[in-house]
Amino acid sequence: MSYQPRILAFAGSARKGSFNKMLVKIAVRGAEATGAKVTYVDLRDFELPVYDADLEAAEGLPENALRFKSLLEEHDGLLIASPENNSTISALLKNVFDWASRRLPGEPAYAGFDGKVAAILAASPGALGGVRGLIHLRAVLETMRVMVLPDQKTVPKAADAFFADGTLKDKTSHEAVERIGATLARIIAKLHA
């Protein structure tokens, strides 16, 4: 691979023992094995108030929104594992997107997102594995001009799906998640060839 893809990876969960944090880290290993440079961040480290246009008008973008926007601009792709809350994406993930998608003076629309490539995953204690939330995540990302890969992976009954070290008990599923990370890296490299 002549171009080294830069991928920003995160989960839409703040919970310390998050299944989605474990899941995205598996995909990170797949991307790294293909030659990508991956930056994993915990959204817990980007605490933000609920998006409020009045707050934005009075104070501008919060420091953590600016930090996240900067990370977006430094990377070619996104690797996201999203929990499903009430059949949609988490409030945490939506709020980070709402703040990070705000324009700074002179910026075009969706400056940090436009032109990125993303791969999406979900793990859920439920039987569907978070697939309903991924439908919404795909729609949100595509609205922000992110190209979302067609392949995605869900892990149902996540409370029983992982070993203590964060790997998936089902070898086929584990390999599929790694493959999604690797595919994202390869596609980004091809786009920059």
Please report, for the domain that includes residue 97, its CATH number: 3.40.50.360
Looking at the whole model, is its pTM more than 0.95?
yes
The answer as to whether 60 is a domain residue is yes
Residue 9: pLDDT over 80: yes
Residue 13 placed within a domain = yes
Residue 1 lies in a domain: no
- Structural domain for 105, as ranges: 6-191
Tell whether 32 is covered by a domain.
yes
In a domain, 121, yes or no: yes
pLDDT, tens only, 134-191: 999 999 999 999 999 999 999 999 999 999 999 999 999 999 999 999 999 999 999 9
The closest of 187, 88, 70, 94 to 144, measured between CA atoms, is: 94
Assess if residue 109 is contained within a domain. yes
Judge residue 126's burial from the number of C-beta atoms within 10 Å of its C-beta, 0-12 exposed, 13-18 middle, 19 or more buried: middle
The number of distinct structural domains making up the chain is: 1
